[in-house]
Structure 1
Amino acid sequence: MLYHLFDYIDRVFDFPGAGVFRYISFRAGMAALFSLIITITFGKSIINWIRNKQIGESVRELGLKGQMEKRGTPTMGGLMIMAGIAIPTLLFANIYNIYIILLLVTTLWLGAIGFVDDYIKVFRKNKAGLAGRFKIVGQVVIGIVVGTTLYFHEDVVVREFNQPVSIAEGVVDTPSFSDVKSLKTTIPFMKDNELHYDKVFGVLGDFLTPLLYIGLVIFIVTAVSNGANITDGIDGLAAGTSAIIGLTIAIYAYISGNAIFSQYLNVMFIPNSGELVIFCAAFVGACVGFLWYNAYPAQVFMGDTGSLMIGGVIAVLSLTLRKELLLPLLCGVFIIELLSVIIQVTYFKYTKRKYGEGRRVFLMSPIHHHYQKKNIPEAKITVRFWILGILFAILALATLKLR
């Protein structure tokens, strides 16, 4: 909103300094700053409100060291993250941008689903929370909205230049170009690094192409959202890892939205995607600000209100920037956590059917609990997973040149 206000002031009154709001870098910095202020300054008030409402975590006895000490810790802290994302984005981003609209809808929708789940757990004292099928339905719905928008909306295009963008004698040469409606995405570590979904899916018929693409979007949103949800098991793990991922995506958003940088690095130029840098900045600021209270020992948990939303946001950001095939690297920690659960459950069922007794690969899943069972301090596990997340982020950024 401030972006539109100052843009109007600059155009109509030519007020000195108002034009600074045109710069993505300035607005991203302000979004990150405001996000930190909101989560840290008002976070304590939100935690006290949650505590007064007796919205505390109910902890199952899993035999983990220090686990029962967490009982009664305020949950639903994801509301802090939602506010830290939504308010700065509304203030500093172009709210008419289709990508910004899509990300705000995703944030509020998945946050609402997580809130319902937490509400049932806390107020109705039902540890199971919202039935899994309803969570899946909610994720499928937002997947359909995102997939349909990316496939059909007229503003979702990629720009193809008739000749490379160049700079000569300090003047940017802008050649002719065309905005193309295309379902192409980026393949990491490949020289000709573009995959055209419309050509791949088109083999099965034009009618099935949008259905298959939307199905792919649903799968990605559901998988990453659940991966983040599973990762949120020890203090600071999900928030810190998500901040690292968000910062990496912000770099890609800046490059993808800039004609010069995208041409130089041979990255797909996506018009209007630069606005996502503001959203990413608010996202990172909210996650870091939340860590102020969520770092070990946690004063608040994000609950499903935060974890489901965080994963879904990361998935949609990757899809809008055509970087979804990078998700195994970007979300490497989430993937490891999710796979540890799948492996544990699959192997247990297989051995129980074959030997009459279920056996385990890990001491406990998700894998962070495995290390807790090995008596590694919780804070050390969290920091080591952050380091692993940084390594994945560096490798993801290295794909810009490693082809």
Structure 2
Amino acid sequence: MTAPALQTTRRCPYAPPDEHTRIRDTESGISQVTLPSGQVAWALSRLEHIRAMLTDPRFSSDRQHPNFPRFTREQPAFDLMRPSIIQLDPPEHGPARKAVVGEFTVRRMAGLRPRIQQIVNEHIDAMLAGPRPADLVRALSLPVPSLVICEQLGVPYRDHDFFQSHSSALLSRVVTAEGRRQAVTELRDYLKELIAEKAADPADDLLGRQLAQGNDPEDVLSLAFLLLIAGHETTANMISLGVVTMLERPDELAALREDPARTLPAIEELLRVYTIAEFANSRVAVEDVEIGGVTIRAGEPVLALSNAANHDPSAFDEAEEIKLDRGARNHVAFGFGIHQCLGQNLARMELQIVFDTLFRRIPTLRLATPADTLPYKNDALIYGIHEVPVTWEDPA
């Protein structure tokens, strides 16, 4: 019997595809699906199963493993570089993560807060001074996290058009294999030249500090590639999705504006509801493993349906409802286990500063087109919105 094709289009922006929910509601919550590459993979859909997998060393994160879940038939373009930390298993993973984890501590993130606030203020100033309607994506959602990660890494922001366009190509489901490989090659060469310059003239930024610690430039290159893409694409999409969600809920937005303590719980709910990197928690079994009464054999690919898991009614009361005061942090939007997202503290802080500042400074902000007509990213590996037209009233 042929496994059904994996659905990748959501039934609405904040709900998983119907097929993912159907799998979750079966007796085991586990089923086989056929990926767009033609590969047959096990699909896990319940929160407890995915969290168990992500803490079990019998599942590998090695994207270069021939049976790792793939959405395209060709070899991944990322094999043009050394594996980054998200591709490494123990014992290699521990030292690689330890070398960089200090860059993302709560304390270090707190030190960045004044500069992030300044960046947000400046971009809101520019948006207010420009024409209406404005595209929130171009005016705020994309430039803020891009500038933040550029300054943290030591990447010149003047090159943002270059790396943003190449990131979009890499994360698109419709770009050809040749196009993705070209994007990887050009972005790799750009970062390789930048790292060579830093090696010759060290700077006090993340990449400069990695080189000063004696880390191999090829490893620093893989880290830079990962952080540059992940550091702006994910947060940018969450800003756009979060603003739309709040503008569609004026009563809850008013409560949030009056009490900023509500912002962080709202961010957790938005992360849970949207689960923008819904397939990022996938693995390949390296030994036989039993989960939920199903035996997964060594060498079999395993797809994590993280969006379905984050809507699991056994883990979240009224899971299909958006409750901005829920505040639950047991979701897997940032992963779980040893590969949990390095930049989650930075992402939360950026979202908090953007939401609090934007809604305080522009209380009359509203969508210029209906939310259900917005161009959602059903064509990308990271979910989001391509464009969000917004407008507002001048203060009286």
| TM-score normalised by structure 1 residue count | 0.29
Higher normalized helix content (fraction of residues): 1
| TM-score normalised by structure 2 residue count | 0.29
Look at both structures and tell me which one has the larger radius of gyration over its CA atoms.
1
Higher relative contact order (CA 8 A, sep 6+): 2
